[in-house]
């Protein structure tokens, strides 16, 4: 872990009470680092300011099952009410991450109703995001899933690629070959463009 500490993210400044923010530590984590491991007793939850982190655990067939890819927002927040982490968290790309002590979060919720209300509001937004994800995965065409993602979770049609299209294909539940073909086709039609960091929706293709 790079010991260069960075400023707490604006979203955390707005969400967390001042006393709790003083317990948070923000730093840069390098690819391959593990934030927590399955079965360990939770001490922290984490906020991804930038970069990419994957949550995964062993599947029934012995391989790894990806539960979530996070490029922004909280991970490990479910550990607030758990005695053990139920998955591994691994850094996939150089990431700006804030660690937030669980014990202090619990104490703040007990003593600060306004913070507890803000926290519930944050969780409600996460539920809405997951509903959108379920809606997206119900779509049959790769193009429809991609456009849905850009429209619902992109900022003005711009969505971060993270570690690349292969990672994005996993988010969409499609093969990376199918996603490459779809992106290439939409670029030729002038419906979207790519740069090193983002996919940008320029227009919604018909058909």
Domain locations in the chain?
2-135, 139-201
The CATH topology of domain 139-201 is Arc Repressor Mutant, subunit A (1.10.10)
pLDDT band at 19 (very low <50, low <70, confident <90, very high): very high
Which residues have CB under 8 Å from 45's CB, separation 6+? 74, 75, 76, 77, 79, 80, 99, 100, 102, 105
Q: What's the pLDDT at 6?
A: 57
How much is the mean pLDDT over the chain?
88
Looking at residue 114, its pLDDT comes to: 97
Q: Which tokens go with 174?
A: 């499609």
Which is higher by pLDDT, 99 or 61? Answer: 99
User: Which class in CATH covers the domain with range 2-135?
Assistant: mainly beta
The pLDDT of residue 185: 93
Compute φ and ψ for 46, nearest 5 degrees: -135, 150
Number of H helices, E strands in the chain: 7, 10
CB atoms within 10 A of CB 137: 13
pLDDT: which is higher, 121 or 60: 121
Taking the C-alpha atoms of residue 6 and residue 36, their distance in angstroms, rounded to an integer, is: 21
- Three-class secondary structure of residue 97 per DSSP: strand
Q: What is the pLDDT of residues 175-186, one digit of tens each?
A: 989 999 999 999
- Our CA dihedral for 86, 38, 19, 119, rounded to 10 degrees, sits at -20
Tell which residue, 145, 146, 158, has the closest CA to residue 195. 158
């Amino acid at each position: 872990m790079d010991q260069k500490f960075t400023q707490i993210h604006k979203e955390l400044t707005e969400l967390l009470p001042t006393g709790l923010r003083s317990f948070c530590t923000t730093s840069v984590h390098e690819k391959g680092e593990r934030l927590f491991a399955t079965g360990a007793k939770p001490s922290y939850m984490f906020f991804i300011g930038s970069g990419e982190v994957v949550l995964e655990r062993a599947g029934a067939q012995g391989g790894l099952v990806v539960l979530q890819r996070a490029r922004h927002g909280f991970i490990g927040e479910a550990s607030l009410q758990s005695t053990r982490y139920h998955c591994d968290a691994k850094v996939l790309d150089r990431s700006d991450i804030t660690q937030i002590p669980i014990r202090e979060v619990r104490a703040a919720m007990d003593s600060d109703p306004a913070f507890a209300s803000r926290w519930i509001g944050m969780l409600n937004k996460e539920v809405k995001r997951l509903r959108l994800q379920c809606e997206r995965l119900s779509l049959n065409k790769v193009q429809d899933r991609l456009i849905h993602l850009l429209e619902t979770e992109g900022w003005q049609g711009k969505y971060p690629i993270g570690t690349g299209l292969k990672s994005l294909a996993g988010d969409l539940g499609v093969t990376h070959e199918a996603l490459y073909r779809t992106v290439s086709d939409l670029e030729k039609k002038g419906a979207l463009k790519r740069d090193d960091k983002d996919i940008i929706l320029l227009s919604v293709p018909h058909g």
